Every structure is written in C-alpha cells, then in structure tokens.
Amino acid sequence: MPVDQKTGVGLLGAGVVGSQVARVILDATDGAASNLTLNGVLVRDINRSREGVPSGLLTTDPEQVLSDDRNDLIVEVMGGEEPARSYMAAAMRSGKHVVTANKEALAKHGDELVGLAADNGVTLSYEASVGGGIPVLAVIQDSLSANRIESIRAIINGTTNYILSSMDEAGSSFEDALEEAQELGFAEADPTADVDAHDAMYKLSILARLAFGASALPDTIHREGIRNIGAKDLRYAGALGYTIKLLAIARSGSDGIRCRVHPALVPNDVPMAKVNGVLNAVELNGDLLGPLWLQGRGAGAGPTASAVMGDVLRIAHGMLGNGGGGKSQTGSPSATNGPPVVGMDDLEVCYYVRLAAIDRFGVLAKIANVFGEGHISIASVLQFDADDERGLADLVIMTHPAREANMQETAARLRQLDVVASLENLIRVEDYDTV
Ligand code: HSE
C-alpha cells in the first residue's frame, strides 16, 4: 500500500464499544488514528442515533461493510457466536484483516478462525477479548515469547468481582449485590454469562490457547459461577483470613494443562485479594521471568476501545511496511497438536467445607469419620452461627491438600449423613505458596 494511502476500516457493531471505536477514528486529527478511514458501520437498528457517528455511515446490510473494497480491515464488536463468526470468516476469506473483541467466537472457533487468517495471509487480532484494556495477549505473545508459561491465575470478570467485593465490604447477599450492580450498569439485565462464569471461561480458553498452545475448548474447562456464594461464606472466610474471588486458573503440569474457573478462597494478604470492584488482574508465571502482574480496567467503552484500537493501529502500521505489525495473535498454528487439557479429578488443593449440622454431641466425630474414610485430612474446624430453633449450627471445615475426586466423593457422603442437614458450600482454597 502506498504510504500516503489511508487504511480503510469497516465496523461491525455500534453498541457502547463500537460507537467509542468509531469516535476515536472519526475524531482523530493527528497521530496514527488519523491515517484510518471509517467507511461503514453495521448496526441492528438504523434509527437509533449514536453520538458522534454520522448516520450516513450506518447500514443494516452486512455486505455493504464486508464487500466494500475500500476496507482493508474489519473491526468486529457485535459480540456473540453468530453471525459474528461467519462475518469474520467472510472478511478473512476476502483478504481483510480482522480485529475483534469477541471472546465467545474465539473460544469456540479459535482453530477455524486462526486457520483462516493463516490461509488467507491476513492478521486476526483479539486483544480486547480478554481483560478489556489490559494488554495481556500481547504480553504473552510478544514480550514473554522466550518463556515457557507455567501458570495463569486471573480475575477476568469485572461483574462478578464487583458483586463479590461488595458482598465482602457490605455483608450483603448475592441477590442484593447483583441488584446493585445492575442498577449501576455493571451487570446485565440477564447476568447469566457473567455470574455463571461463561464469560470468564471463554477468556481463560483464549489465554490457555495462546499461552500453552492447548486446545482448551470451553467444554474442557471446569466452570462454577458465584450464585452459590452466600454472605455467610464471605464472613466465615474473613474470620479465617481469606476473601472469596472468582478465579480463572490454567496451570501446566506433568499430565497436561488444567483449566478451571470457580470461586476460591484467597488469603487476604496477597495482591489478588485486593483487586476489588470491576478491576481485572492477571498473574502470569514464565520460566525465565518468574511472576508477572497485570491489573487494569477489564470492561467498558474506553478500556475495550483502547485494546481494539491498539490492534487496529498495529495492523495499519504493519501494512505500511513499518514492521512490528501485521502479526496474527494466533498462538501455535494448530492448538489441536498442543498439550492435552486434563480434568479435575487429580487436582490437589485445600477445601473450605460449610455444613449445617445438628448441634449435638458425637456429631463432629461422625463427620470427621467421613473425611477420614475419604482420605482427607482436616486442618481445622470452626463452629459459627447456631440456629437454636432447628438445633443446627454452621460448621466450617478446612482441609489439608486433598484430591478433587476424593473431596467430591466425600461431599456426596456428607450430604447423606443423618447429622448433616445440608452441605451448604464447598470452595477451593487457592495456594499462594505456588505460583
Ligand atoms: N462482562 C464482562 C465483565 C466484560 O464483567 O468483565 C466483557 O467481557
């Protein structure tokens, strides 16, 4: 491309993020973004006005953006699996570079989309799909490329982090904290993707693919959301020196890569415990570098547009022959040849077990016996709130490291025990002596 020619951009989606991206391009009077031209914006509703985006650029016809020869690059910020995946595929087949923030499409169809970029000699970049404005994918792919990544441990969902932080601070219930997050615009009207941890699972899938070359498809990732976390759990965890965070963890072991997203007890004195509100944080561990900590705003128009525009400008820079750009965020060419993704059975961690048990002599002995038969060693037992009317008390049992399969079997037996009214919660404790 001649140096004086501008890079043509087509935009798919003009929600909060898309409109922000459009404004950054349209408002640029100097600097790198002023060498971009926005040629068209695909929207669902052409009658909705978008501040700072001329209505003449809007269209409801995807072909007008995808088949526009002036577009060198397509920015996809519609979200969702389809039709976003098909549009990205069509764009790459017609020789256009693609920048996307779409974690679901990347997590589910990473192999296909990465393959299409390679086959068509174009760049596919997706920094904004994980951690909002935090440049974590570029760090893994570029800065740490000489390292073997050993582990990733992250808070990569701002909504759930906001809810858990506010439950911890205010002692509120999950339902009240969710309602507050919705009122403040931090949680969607339908919060499923966030609170049931689909969002964090997709992001971990992308991280694991890039960091380990592992085909960590969403269904290989253990996923638990935060609906079951009660105000009591945060209170009891606090009394034991912990808070509770929704962690996304991928770790390389001798048997393969294990990926899991679930609430975890985090010691109050480690940095991860202090990541509050909608912030995201990622802790990476490379064999040469050791631990690395990245923290920032993981969602919202500004941070997401920052990551999208970083990708756009890197590609535009590369197209001008300036080097350093035009490189796909592809990870290994085919993650299907990467290390295996292993299940949860052989995971060894400590557990927090909360039981509502009958408050009577001999009960503890019966419960301890079940742990013993499951080959699980108890580290401590605390009795909390008693319900005198029902004759029940809350027992919190902390274990020594135990095998996940043994713990699950023990939990099933505890649920059947006559002295246990209910197993209220089982939460893994994150070990901060290992990174
Ligand atoms: N809903 C996500 C979050 C942001 O709460 O972090 C978009 O990935």
Residues 6+ apart with CB under 8 A from 63: none
Phi, psi of 260 (to 5 degrees): -150, 145
**Pocket residues: Cβ below 6 A from ligand 1:** 157-159, 194, 199, 298-299
Kindly indicate the confidence band of residue 144, based on its pLDDT and cuts at 50, 70 and 90: very high
What's the pLDDT tens digit per position in 147-197? 999 999 999 999 999 999 999 999 999 999 999 999 998 999 999 999 999
Task: Identify the burial level of 133 via C-beta atoms within 10 angstroms of its C-beta, where 0-12 means exposed, 13-18 middle and 19 or more buried.
Answer: buried
What's the pLDDT tens digit per position in 111-127? 999 999 999 999 999 99
Residues of the chain with CATH 3.30.70.260: 348-429
What confidence score (pLDDT) does residue 322 get? 56
95 alpha carbon – ligand 1 mean position (Å): 30
Angle at 419 between CA 413 and CA 425, to 5 degrees: 60
In this predicted structure, the answer to whether residue 281 has a pLDDT above a threshold of 90 is yes
Percent of the chain with pLDDT over 70: 95
User: d(Cα 129, Cα 107) in Å, to the nearest integer?
Assistant: 10
Residues of the chain with CATH 3.30.360.10: 137-297
Kindly indicate the confidence band of residue 325, based on its pLDDT and cuts at 50, 70 and 90: very low
Which CATH superfamily is 137-297 part of?
Answer: Dihydrodipicolinate Reductase; domain 2 (3.30.360.10)
User: d(Cα 253, Cα 262) in Å, to the nearest integer?
Assistant: 19
Kindly indicate the confidence band of residue 286, based on its pLDDT and cuts at 50, 70 and 90: very high
What confidence score (pLDDT) does residue 371 get? 98
**DSSP bridge partners of 257:** 252, 341
Rg (CA), the chain: 24
Tell me the CATH class for 348-429: alpha beta
What confidence score (pLDDT) does residue 338 get? 87
| Ligand 1 atom, smallest distance to 187 CA | 5
User: d(Cα 193, Cα 225) in Å, to the nearest integer?
Assistant: 9
Q: Which residue has the tokens 């498809």?
A: 217
What's the pLDDT tens digit per position in 214-269? 999 999 999 999 999 999 999 999 999 999 999 999 999 999 999 999 999 999 99
199 alpha carbon – ligand 1 mean position (Å): 7
For β-strands 279-286 and 149-155, DSSP reports them as antiparallel
Residue 96 falls in the annotated catalytic set? no
Residues of the chain with CATH 3.40.50.720: 7-133+301-337
| Ligand 1 atom, smallest distance to 156 CA | 6
From 194, 205, 282, give the residue whose CB has the most ligand 1 atoms within 8 Å, as the site to mutate. 194
156 alpha carbon – ligand 1 mean position (Å): 8
Task: Evaluate the CA torsion angle 382, 385, 387, 388 in order and state its sign.
Answer: positive
- Marked catalytic residue, from 103, 108, 203, 245: 203
Closest-CA residue, ligand 1 atom 7, reads 299
User: d(Cα 435, Cα 431) in Å, to the nearest integer?
Assistant: 8
In this predicted structure, the answer to whether residue 328 has a pLDDT above a threshold of 70 is no
Mean pLDDT value of segment 405-411? 98
Mean pLDDT value of segment 55-63? 96
In this predicted structure, the answer to whether residue 39 has a pLDDT above a threshold of 60 is yes
What confidence score (pLDDT) does residue 385 get? 87
For β-strands 420-429 and 256-267, DSSP reports them as parallel
What confidence score (pLDDT) does residue 406 get? 98
159 alpha carbon – ligand 1 mean position (Å): 6
In this predicted structure, the answer to whether residue 323 has a pLDDT above a threshold of 70 is no
315 alpha carbon – ligand 1 mean position (Å): 25
In this predicted structure, the answer to whether residue 324 has a pLDDT above a threshold of 50 is no
What confidence score (pLDDT) does residue 5 get? 76
What's the pLDDT tens digit per position in 68-104? 999 999 999 999 999 999 999 999 999 999 999 999 9
Helix then strand then coil, in percent of the chain rounded to 5, is 40, 25, 35
pTM, to two decimals:
0.95
Kindly report the CATH number that applies to the domain delimited by 7-133+301-337.
3.40.50.720
From 106, 199, 306, give the residue whose CB has the most ligand 1 atoms within 8 Å, as the site to mutate. 199
| Average pLDDT of the chain to the nearest whole number | 94
What's the pLDDT tens digit per position in 376-388? 999 999 999 888 8
What confidence score (pLDDT) does residue 260 get? 98
What confidence score (pLDDT) does residue 49 get? 83
**DSSP bridge partners of 383:** 395
| Ligand 1 atom, smallest distance to 300 CA | 4
From 159, 246, 278, 282, give the residue whose CB has the most ligand 1 atoms within 8 Å, as the site to mutate. 159
